[in-house]
Amino acid sequence: MIDILQELNEEQRRAVLCEDGPVLVLAGAGSGKTRVLTYRIAYLIGERNIPPGRILAMTFTNKAADEMKERLKQMLGERIKSMWVGTFHSICARILREHAERLGYTRDYSIYDEEDRERIIKRIIEQEELRISPGQAVKVISRLKQGLISPDECSGDDLACLYSKYNEKLKENNAMDFDDLLMNTIRLFENHPAVREIYARRFLHVLVDEYQDTNRAQYVILKHITSIHRNLFVVGDDDQSKYSFRGAEIRNILDFEKDFPDVKIYKLERNYRSTGNILKVASNLVAHNRGRKEKVLWTDASDGEPVMVIEKETEYDESLEVARIVERELERTPPGEIAVLYRANYLSRSIEEALRRKNIPYRVVGGIRFYERKEIKDVLSYLRIMVNPRDDESMLRIINTPPRGIGKATLRNLLDIAEERKISLFDALEFTDIPALSSFRSLLHELMDEKEDVRDAVRAVLNKTGYLSYLEESGKEEDLNRIENLEELVSSIDEWVRRTGETSVSSYLSTISLYTEIDRWDKSEMVNLMTLHNTKGLEFEVVIITGVEDGILPHRRSLEEGNEEEERRLFYVGITRAKKRLYILYSRARGTSWGPSRFLGEIGREGVKFVGSPERGRRVFHPYYGEGIVIGVEDGGRKITVDFGTFTKKFIVDLAPLKFLDNGDY
């Protein structure tokens, strides 16, 4: 057992060693909250002798859950295997696998992603001639489910009809969407009290990470699971709550004391990540929020380099500046330790172009997710049909993939049979003698013989369906890339079996259905580009935040909806990802913004250096011509004229070896 007293500071130690009952740990950015959560579990098992199987730990990402399990395994050995560690969604999926029949599903139900959901919703809208956009409907229905609002409680006939028919289609397909995993767990607990009692009695201790980002449904699940023992240990930071668009309720953490009057509260205020100057900027900013719990971050680290706030004339200039900063930083910083952050995905385009021009390798985190690529989804749809033949969405995806002569007329024939007999498309295959469909039916039965082991199943799909040979014969560069992705899929399945010891297709599908792009993320030999929302739990030596302008950060939509405080928290999260150096950039002329962000007036001046764009009167230094004064600016600051006393000279700023002095010297 680790020496807890030696490994933790005083604040952390008090939280880890606290008595039973409800506990709220307010953990500032970089204060070691994951360590506290992990050591609390180690203390319960190693010192208090709590059986691991009676502990439940909830994390925000699967990556965080995996890292926690690995750390606990190093500390306590194999005995932690029986402990429940995972995201809310993965824990709920596990509970539902055990009791799905009570809700009218089989254990092998499918889990639909956003693309699956939008496809079903689009079809219903067309059939019912409803006046609502599919993309908007997906978001609205998701928010309703997260808020535990049923179709009967909906306002608006079109929405209520769509929501109801969407749920009916999911049930017919023996499928749930992401939000159903939470909502159906609550239904299970409330309609079957004996099941709720099983879990409420089993878990003596429940621990939750990132509590500030829990939504209404997650809150209700916790209330059910902790209803008997009441040992709920939550860690969070209200200053980092940034997911209201996903239904997160910051009131869950702000009102924790009202829900649990006997709560014990601990504050972690010592920061182990950032320099003093970065912390000053972050603290000054977030202090402007009223809806927060007071805490003051501090560090033993030095002030470090000043935080750079850089103004550029246009978006183009800003992107070039980002590329220049990255180029300079690469001389002393590994590429994987550099992150360029922005409020919205569209802002990455010009930055990517600037990095490409300088041949700087980068990757966009949260781009097309691996498991959302067409070829991956095709193969996964075959696997889904092998264990859940009622999954009509997967059937529609694979029925003519790769092409096997099943056209629109043939498919219409099959759909009519299924509709007339009120059966699934798979069952409808038994009632047709069309050769192409009969051949497809035989193929599916042959594949189902391989479903005992996911490694055999995926190889059977690739080879017996002709999918792999179809891509190989195409010869297109795009299809060769698809083959590489499929090879990666096979390799990842082999690794999953080695890591988990499981082999069932259902378990594998359940695991990857709940994975996000951030779960696959690790630091690489490339500069990272990502949205501020994708930065949870990450840290980098160098952080560059771009587009810090009103209308972008804070976003105009958030301002219209009265969510300025959440936008401030989002900026705060970005700032506190930085360990050593922080650059904040904005441009004066961008069509989607209203000028410098109001937040720049809140970060203070101490430890901050403000750098303007080229303007008349600025002093510059040229290694050959010496010191001069800018007397002319053209083309948005890309070209300048400099007076060197006895002569003047024109320069293209990006190409000339000029150094800007005064407030531009950084």
Among all residues, which ones are annotated catalytic? 33-34, 209-210, 240, 577
Chain center to CA of 625: 51
Question: Which strands form 527-531's sheet, in the order they lie side by side?
Answer: 362-364, 527-531, 338-342, 540-545, 578-589, 307-314, 608-611
Question: SS3 sequence, 263-323?
Answer: CEEEEECECCCCCHHHHHHHHHHHCCCCCCCCCCCECCCCCCCCEEEEEEEEHHHHHHHHH
CA distances, 241 to each of 12, 150, 232, 412, 600 (Å)? 21, 26, 20, 48, 20
Alpha-carbon span 67 to 55, nearest angstrom:
17
**Cβ atoms within 10 Å, residue 425:** 23
Which residue from 297, 367, 365, 344 is spatially nearest to 545, judged by alpha carbons? 344
Alpha-carbon span 544 to 322, nearest angstrom:
7
Say if CB 600 and CB 309 are below 8 A apart: yes
Q: How far apart are the first and last CA of the chain?
A: 49
| Residue 554, preceding peptide bond in cis (omega within 30° of 0) | yes
- The pairs formed by 441-450 with CB atoms below 8 angstroms and a separation of 24 or more are 444/385, 444/386, 444/389, 447/382, 447/385, 447/386, 448/386, 450/386
H or E element, residue 542: strand 540-545
3 state SS of 435: helix
For residue 99, which amino acid is it?
Answer: H
Alpha-carbon span 132 to 592, nearest angstrom:
27
DSSP letter (8 states) at residue 655 = T
For 466, residues 6+ apart whose C-beta sits below 8 A from its C-beta are 402, 404
Chain center to CA of 117: 19
